[in-house]
Structures are given as C-alpha cells and as structure tokens.
Chains A and B, each alone.
Chain A
C-alpha cells in the first residue's frame, strides 16, 4: 500500500469510521459532506495491514473489518455471513465492523435471492476466517520463535499455551500481513464443538439502528445538490407517449422541469419502463407536479389484456396436453386401466411484492461515471443494466447498496436505478427517483398468474396409481425474451418436477402462457402456486379415501429414499444434487415433528376450528406447517395458530431463522387470504394497500410457532421456504372446518358463510 493511498485513506476513515458501526458512508448521511471528498476508495478491509482476501481485513487497533457482499433486506444476511467468518477467525464479535460491499465481481455473486447466500458462501466465509487466523498464528509463532503447532487462537488473541504468552490480533496484523497467503490445503477448520457463534446465532448487527431511526435505507440516501423525481409510467406495458402537457406541473412550486424517458425496446429486462419524470426540489413537489401532468398514451398490444378473460384462457390451456417435463412409468396406460379418477383445477392470481419501502434510488452521473446508492438485491446486475442504458463501461458504474426496506425479489430487478441514472445524466446533478406506493403496485415485476390441472387415478385404498399434473403460468423468462411462453426448468423445478411421492406412473407437464405485464421473482417464486395445487390435491385425495390427511401424506411420501431425478431436467436451485438431494426421510421428519408439536389429532379445538397440513421442500430446505383456522358463521377466516417445522441443514443463526419463518407465515397469510392483482385493458386495477391489502396484526397468525429440526446436513435456505406450505395448509384446514374446498386464491374470493 502506497503512502499516498494511506494518507487519502486516513482522510476517508476519519469521515466514516467514527460515526458508528452501521454507517454505509458519509454520503448517505445528511451531513453535507461533498461527494468529491469521499469518492469511493475501496473497503476498509482491503486497506488494513492483514487482508488475505476480499472479505476481511484486520487493522492495527484490532478492529476486524468484514465485508458483507450480500444485500440486507431483513433476512439478517449482513449479520449471519460475517458471523461465520468471525467464528472461524475466532474474532470477538464486539470488535467486528461490518461494511457493505459495492457491486463488484471480485466478491463472487451478489445476487441476493434464491435463499442461497449461506448455502453458497458458508465455505468461502470459513476459508477467509481460517486463512486470517492461520496467518496471525504464524506471525505469533515467528515472533516467539516457537513451532506454529504450539500456538492457537483464542478470542482475538494468539496464545502460546506452554509459556502463557499472548498477542492480540491488532498487534500481529502488520507482521501477519507480510506473510504469503497460505494455500487452502493448509487450512484447519474449527470442529463444530468449538464454534462460538455458528449455530448459536447473534442478533442483527444493525439492531440498535433499526429501532432508533438511524438505519439508512435507499429512501434515506441523499447527495448534495440532489433533486427529486417522480415518474408517470405508461399505464400499459410498452405504451408510449403520444403527447403531453406539462404547463400545470411547471406551475407547482418546487417543480423544476419534466423529462420524457424512452419506452424500452423489448424484451424489457431491467430497462426503464418509460414515461415522464417530474423533477423537483423535494419529493412532495415532484408528486404534486406529476398529478397535474396531462398525458395521452399510445398503448400498444398489451392493452387487450384483461384478467377475467386471461384466466379462462389459462384454465383452458391447463386442460390441454402440454410439454412433458417429467415422466415416470406410463401415465396413459395407468389411466387406461380404469378405476376412480379425480381431477381438479387450481388458480393463483398475479401478486405484487409491496415491500414497505417502494423502489427508490439515488444516482449521480459525472465525468462519465455513474454512482448509485440504492436498495438493490443485485448490485452487479445493476452495473450491467446501468452500463447498457448509459452506454458506459460496467466498471464505471459504482453501485452502493443501502439497507433494503424489504424486497421479496422485487429489488433483484434494478429498473428504478436505471431510471435514476438516465435522469441524472440528463439533469446534470444527482437525482433521487422515488416510486409511490401506487407506482409500486401498478408497475411491479409481478409474481406469475398460474393455472394448474391435477388428475389422479386411485386404487381401492385411495392411493394414486397414475398421476398427471400440468402447470400454466406467465413465465419469468418472458422478462428476458419477449417471445417466451413456457416456464424455465427452474420454475418447473419449484415444487412440480420434483414432487417426491411414491407413484408408479407420473407425468408433469407445462403449458404456454403469454405475459402481458412484467413477471419476476417473488418470495419462493413458483413454489407458491405449485405447493398450493399439489398439497391441496393431496388433501382432496386423502378425504376421498376417507383417510386422515397426515397419515395419507406419510403414506404417499413412501419409504425413506433419495429421489432419482437423473432422467429429468432438474436444477435443484443450482445446488449440487449429491450434496443436496431430495431425501424423503427428511420430509417425513418435518411432517412428524410438526404433527406432534401442533397436537395433530390430539388437541381439542374450539368449535368452528380445524387443522390443515402441508409439506414442501424448496431452496433445498424441508418445511411442514400445520395451520389452525377459525371460520366464523359469517364466513370470516382467522388463523389462531400456525406450527412450522423446518430442516434447513445446519442453521447458522437460529433466532433470525425463526423470525424468517414467522414472517413467511405472515407473507403466506397475505397471499392466501387477500392478495390479488388484476388488469383491465392492460392496466393494473389495484393501487395501494386499500385494494391490494396485506396481512395486518389482526389477520396474521395469532400464534406463530417455529421448530428447527437439528440437522448435520449442509446449510440450506431460510428466507423463502416457509412461504409455500402456508396457503395449502390453511385451505386444507378450511376444508376440514367447513367442507368447502378452496381451489382459487385468494380465499376472499370464496364465500365461506355457513
């Protein structure tokens, strides 16, 4: 490290470090420091004397800087991954400072979705921690002139056991930093029995800032000289401006100008939607000005899209043969044999993410470079999208990641950052684009609308001998290829091609659907509708057979075995199937645990109440839920209790994991009870929480019990897998309570009045 860098670095540190632990950078604080004074100079970690890799650095005062390269949207990942590193380093958590990475390929993937951060980076964090520990140990051994094997790490110090000598990490870091970085093969990992933090967990690193209003979200980012923008988007996807009149907006005090934004050229990907931006001195003025815009739109082909007709089309498609994606035995022969046949259609509407913080971004274009501060799940995708939009190199896009006020998949799509970038270039100063809640609800990358058809032939015990299931949904690939109508292998692999039942003749099919709105990932993605169809249908079969749903479910799971899916294209959430197979023993286990904990078949329930069960593996985690429902004579549905058992392999942070599953049950309640987005003439009909309601404290499960099944399997996902079982378990409970079968979500569409 050169002296010059050192000096400028020190200047930088002065401004940043002293203000406290969470600080993302001075520039997002309302402290008025000029952008030029704090141009991004890399992480503290990389400027520390000991810096064996991109994730960690140790300063002479003993501060351990750990880089969080994944985005924090409430899952605790900004805490849990650094915790793994800190444990392996044997660092004192109190002396750890976490810094948020900008988008940079050197960190590996930063795409914070798919519930994969721990799964994909557990080993990398351990290696980084073990590497730094070994270098510190080596430095101490050299200093004491003793064999390395006689020295060991003990909470931020290296000790020489026999002599009792000790040196702190800060004292060793300079010497350690001069040593060559050891080879992976030399590393020794702690045995699980020595883990300080892993498996025990730690509260969010940001906790105190989250309860005091100090936490900095995208909504809170500001830059000097910044102006605010609110954008009137074309009401129909792909629509263009015919003409517009901005006289009235320009009269609004605080409004500076209006700027048209070109409509994207298909496929839309992460491009700006287009429309007219109103630029103003504050958010309110921008909103007000925008209300006064007068725009005539040219709507285009998607204006023919209306949800009612579209639903009929999809359901018709689901009744026609589709593309087979998994085949076992001979389904047609199975059905030809005769016997009782059951069939059912299920439907799940479009859904919006509605994270509490709507899309928002600050961007500053100057000297051919774009600096963004934004709540994004994927800063590298942001670099790509912005570089394309502005025609600058990816390296010239510096994307800082703020805290995310919820995301649920929405903020994997950085279109709103592209908007801010385009506008900053045009305005010549930093621009903050703020989406209203109405924008968020009307212009989302929606969760697909889906129609499923299920058909089974059953034997005299009611067990299926042939099983056909077909799924039709507006596919996510349509976001990247305008002509795509079939689902990707990953979407089909989310609870459909991977159904784990022991059925001799089975076929899984996918039918086409044209997307007329932007489609994207939403918490647990295709698992939402697939689990709803499969787990509801299973309950139908159980009742048909006159058998207890729990007993039937276990019978259908069959003998404990690892599913052989070699003949099927099954991405397994991009995880190695050897390491993360579908193991029906683990499915059985979570079912058994949740049955016992919920008092299935044993607990006395109040009148009007009943239990329903569902089990589902997603993001390589096994989850079973039992929902207790209360249906009032007026047909109101309440959820007094939910019990959820999960096997996510090794759980790094149990407390935060429990919170994720509690939240997933609430998220499940929202989509099951009340979530629905519809379109008429191509435009979305809902606008805010009045017509797109989400669960409030009064509607969320009253008791929310989470059980973590001890497991030695490698760590799996925890952010999403809690969601899929909730809706079917609730609907199965409603059937048990009322005899009414819900085949369409949300439940509010069905009249449950006695």
Chain B
C-alpha cells in the first residue's frame, strides 16, 4: 500500500479521480454560480478553478494551497486534526495512517493534488458514536505506551478488519508490518486485533 501511494501510479489514480470529481463538482458549482452570473462566463472561470474539494471526517472541505502538500500537514497544520502523527515523512512508519474511502493510506506521502473527491477519515472520526471495536480492544489490552504511533496502528488495524474480518496471524503481521511502534507494543497489538476480530465476527 505504501509503495503504491509513493509511486507514479498512485498519483495517476489521484489525478483520474480528481478529474472525475472535478466534473461532478463542476456541475454543482456551476449551478450555484450560474444563478449569479448566468451564461458561460461562470463556466470559464470554473475551469480555471484549482480548488481541491474533498471530505474530511464527513465535512466538505476545499483546498487551494500547494497541491504538492501532503495530506498529513493539511490535516495537522491547516485543519488542526492533530491525532494523525508525523513519524518519518516517507511512508516507512505508519504513524500518519488515515483512511481514504475506507482504505488505509500514508498521509505523509499522499499529495493534496491527488485527493479531489476523496473521503478522508482520521482517528478523530473513526467512530462517530463512542469507541470503535478496535479502540475498545486497544483499551482492554492496554496497548499504548507513549501512544504516539497508536492512531496509525488503529487506523491500519481497522482497515485490515474491514477487508479481512478474521485475519490469520500472518495476515495481521503483513498488514501491520508498515507500522512502527518504538515502544514495542506489538504483542498487545496482535492480541487486540484478534480480540476485535472475534468481537465483530
């Protein structure tokens, strides 16, 4: 996963998405602007509009800054969603893991330019009501030590369980191998994932 988001392919996917979404946005905005401007002038200005529109934790957002800016810093510095952490900046540690359309991605290498139309979920919005089963399992197993890596660990684990509700030990290790915990909470992470899987089964 981390490799894909770093590769050119990842950017491509993003651009394709953005193109699609731009069309959809276009129509929406067009209607709105058209009410005021009428005619094609509004349309021309819209084509030049490089606003990136995406959803973050269910809220519509638009971004017109540097499209090269990684999502991580948009979340943290612009939106103040600091639950998502910086650990390495180059997709090696998983501390910055969030969900894009339900899949785990490394926000430190995902450019804003690739996110138009995406729906991003961060740890703050993992579960709207109360705690997610994975968060509960994390508490029951006392997983966190310093806790700094745990937002990323939890987001990664949730994505795993969404795609593989009853993961084997091997699948757990494969899915979690990109998430470093320097405090060394791996044994508890493994147990908590198993417990959460049991809970959901």
Bound complex: CA of A732 vs CA of B179, how far in Å? 29
**Given A404-B146, A689-B92, A283-B187 contact (CB < 8 Å):** no
Do A696 and B180 touch across chains, with their CB atoms under 8 A apart? yes
Do A700 and B131 touch across chains, with their CB atoms under 8 A apart? no
Map CB proximity to B onto A651-690 as digits: 1 under 8 Å, 0 otherwise.
Answer: 0000110011011111100000000000000000000111
Binds B, one of A205-213, A462-470, A737-745: A205-213
Q: From residue 696 to 734 of chain A, which have CB atoms closer than 8 A to chain B?
A: 696-698, 700-701, 703-704
Name which residue of chain B comes closest to A280, CB basis: B77
Bound complex: CA of A287 vs CA of B73, how far in Å? 11
Do A203 and B139 touch across chains, with their CB atoms under 8 A apart? yes
Name which residue of chain A comes closest to B190, CB basis: A697
Do A663 and B145 touch across chains, with their CB atoms under 8 A apart? yes
B88 to chain A, nearest CB (A): 5
Do B148 and A356 touch across chains, with their CB atoms under 8 A apart? yes
Check A355 for interface membership: any CB of B closer than 8 A. Answer: yes
Chain B: interface residue count, which band? 35 or more
Do A697 and B88 touch across chains, with their CB atoms under 8 A apart? no
Map CB proximity to B onto A204-224 as digits: 1 under 8 Å, 0 otherwise.
Answer: 101111111111110110100
Do B123 and A213 touch across chains, with their CB atoms under 8 A apart? yes
Bound complex: CA of A616 vs CA of B68, how far in Å? 51
Do B146 and A73 touch across chains, with their CB atoms under 8 A apart? yes
Check A315 for interface membership: any CB of B closer than 8 A. Answer: no
Task: Classify the secondary structure of A's interface with B.
Answer: loop
Check A96 for interface membership: any CB of B closer than 8 A. Answer: no
Check B82 for interface membership: any CB of A closer than 8 A. Answer: yes
Chain B residues lying within 8 Å of A215, measured Cβ to Cβ, are: 147
Check A75 for interface membership: any CB of B closer than 8 A. Answer: yes
Chain B residues lying within 8 Å of A695, measured Cβ to Cβ, are: 184, 186
Name which residue of chain B comes closest to A689, CB basis: B92
Do B144 and A211 touch across chains, with their CB atoms under 8 A apart? yes
A332 to chain B, nearest CB (A): 44
Check A30 for interface membership: any CB of B closer than 8 A. Answer: yes
The one of B90, B131, B182 that contacts A406, using a Cβ cutoff of 8 Å: B182
Do B148 and A212 touch across chains, with their CB atoms under 8 A apart? no
Q: From residue 218 to 251 of chain A, which have CB atoms closer than 8 A to chain B?
A: 219-220, 222, 228
Task: Classify the secondary structure of B's interface with A.
Answer: loop
The one of A211, A666, A694, A697 that contacts B131, using a Cβ cutoff of 8 Å: A211
Check A362 for interface membership: any CB of B closer than 8 A. Answer: no
**Given A254-B66, A666-B186, A282-B85 contact (CB < 8 Å):** no
Chain A: interface residue count, which band? 35 or more
Do A662 and B187 touch across chains, with their CB atoms under 8 A apart? yes
The one of B80, B89, B143, B189 that contacts A437, using a Cβ cutoff of 8 Å: B89
**Given A210-B150, A253-B66, A437-B87, A690-B145 contact (CB < 8 Å):** no
Check B173 for interface membership: any CB of A closer than 8 A. Answer: yes
Do A282 and B78 touch across chains, with their CB atoms under 8 A apart? yes
Bound complex: CA of A665 vs CA of B183, how far in Å? 10
Q: Which of A203, A211, A665 has the most CB of B within 10 A?
A: A211
Do B146 and A403 touch across chains, with their CB atoms under 8 A apart? yes
B62 to chain A, nearest CB (A): 17
Check A267 for interface membership: any CB of B closer than 8 A. Answer: no
Chain A residues lying within 8 Å of B178, measured Cβ to Cβ, are: 696
**Given A253-B66, A437-B88, A697-B176, A208-B139 contact (CB < 8 Å):** yes
Bound complex: CA of A203 vs CA of B136, how far in Å? 13
Chain B residues lying within 8 Å of A283, measured Cβ to Cβ, are: 73, 76-77, 86
Bound complex: CA of A222 vs CA of B81, how far in Å? 12
A687 to chain B, nearest CB (A): 9
Check B65 for interface membership: any CB of A closer than 8 A. Answer: yes
Check A278 for interface membership: any CB of B closer than 8 A. Answer: no
**Given A356-B93, A356-B182, A207-B145 contact (CB < 8 Å):** no
Do A211 and B135 touch across chains, with their CB atoms under 8 A apart? yes
4 closest cross-chain pairs (CB), A and B = A213-B83, A666-B184, A405-B148, A74-B146
Known: A208-B139, A659-B185. 16 other contacts (CB 8 A): A74-B183, A204-B142, A207-B142, A211-B143, A212-B126, A213-B84, A214-B83, A220-B76, A222-B80, A406-B183, A434-B86, A659-B145, A662-B188, A664-B184, A689-B93, A696-B180
A–B Cβ pairs within 8 angstroms, 10 of them: A203-B139, A210-B144, A212-B131, A356-B181, A436-B89, A437-B89, A437-B90, A666-B181, A689-B92, A696-B177
